[in-house]
């Protein structure tokens, strides 16, 4: 889905992430469309498990369980594509790179697919699919249990495997980002892999879209102070901006406001 409907859906989800609940009437006023249009939007988002319908509106899905991987792929697609290209531009020729699980990190891999002279280590079989055909990129697959729903290798074997390397750059995602700079996710096994990747890289790039800001998630990956560069679509939260400045994190906005 693309065009004005997709943009409106992303706006609705952004509002829902920030407020926890949206109403038909308020959304119609805020977005300048009819209540019938909003009802159809909410029904569409509910059918994709992105929101849960309630009388008069919708509520955000659980802060304990993440959205399905396919549903996440549909969120903020243009923003993720732009973030992926911007992160890829930061990767120099001849670099060794970790790329972890995530729909945004997959866009980074897509943007790197025609490059040469790279060593890419990943626990994401979707990244492998994007890169393995290029003989100019050496791809190393992390061992471990592969999750069916997103094709990620996770668990103790994956963590031990990652500890055998010290790469130039780690490219990670996060399911949620608090305004105080805390990086969060939903799965402890996935978090352990992300932490191992961070600890075994000389430089860390966080690639995340703006919908992640303020989203609830229960497991702590780390803090923005563990990151060297944050690449996002827009940075509008002053508290998070201040946290990045305090800890010397370079912020790259690919679609800055105004």
Q: Is residue 127 part of a domain?
A: yes
Please count the structural domains in the chain: 2
- Residue 149: CATH number of its domain: 3.40.50.1360
Residue 47 burial (C-beta neighbours within 10 Å; 0-12, 13-18, 19+) = exposed
CB-CB contact of 147 with 124 (8 Å):
no
Is pLDDT of 75 > 90? no
50 and 76 fall within a common domain:
no
The rounded distance, in Å, linking the Cα atoms of 101 and 117 is 22
More confident: 242 or 149: 242
Is pLDDT of 62 > 70? no
Q: At which of 61, 85, 103 does a domain end?
A: 61
The range of the structural domain enclosing residue 103 comes to 71-253
Residue 116 tokens read as: 């040469």
35 and 105 fall within a common domain:
no
- Residue 56: CATH number of its domain: 1.10.10.10
pLDDT, tens only, 77-133: 889 999 999 999 999 999 999 999 999 999 999 999 999 999 999 999 999 999 999
pTM metric for this prediction: 0.78
The rounded distance, in Å, linking the Cα atoms of 136 and 39 is 49
């Amino acid at each position: 889905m693309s065009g004005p409907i997709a943009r409106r859906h992303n706006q609705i989800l952004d509002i829902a992430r920030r407020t926890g609940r949206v109403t038909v009437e308020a959304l119609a006023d805020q977005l300048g469309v009819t209540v019938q249009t909003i009802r159809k939007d909410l029904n569409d988002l509910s059918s994709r498990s992105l929101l849960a319908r309630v009388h008069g509106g919708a509520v955000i899905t659980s802060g304990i369980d993440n959205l399905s991987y396919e549903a996440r792929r549909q969120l903020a697609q243009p923003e993720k594509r732009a973030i992926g290209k911007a992160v890829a531009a930061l990767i120099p020729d001849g670099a060794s790179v970790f790329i972890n699980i995530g729909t945004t990190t997959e866009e980074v891999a897509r943007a790197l697919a025609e490059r040469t002279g790279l060593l890419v280590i990943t626990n994401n079989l979707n990244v492998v699919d994007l890169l393995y055909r290029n003989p100019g990129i050496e791809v190393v697959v992390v061992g471990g249990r592969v999750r069916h729903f997103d094709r990620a290798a996770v668990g103790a074997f994956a963590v031990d495997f990652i500890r055998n390397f010290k790469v130039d750059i780690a490219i990670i995602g996060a399911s949620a980002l608090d305004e105080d700079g805390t990086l969060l996710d939903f799965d402890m096994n996935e978090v352990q892999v992300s932490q191992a990747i961070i600890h075994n890289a000389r430089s860390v790039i966080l690639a995340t879209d703006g919908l992640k800001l303020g989203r609830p998630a229960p497991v702590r990956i780390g803090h923005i102070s563990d990151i060297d560069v944050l690449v996002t679509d827009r940075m509008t939260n002053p508290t998070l901006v201040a946290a990045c400045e305090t800890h010397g994190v370079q912020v790259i906005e690919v679609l800055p406001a105004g």
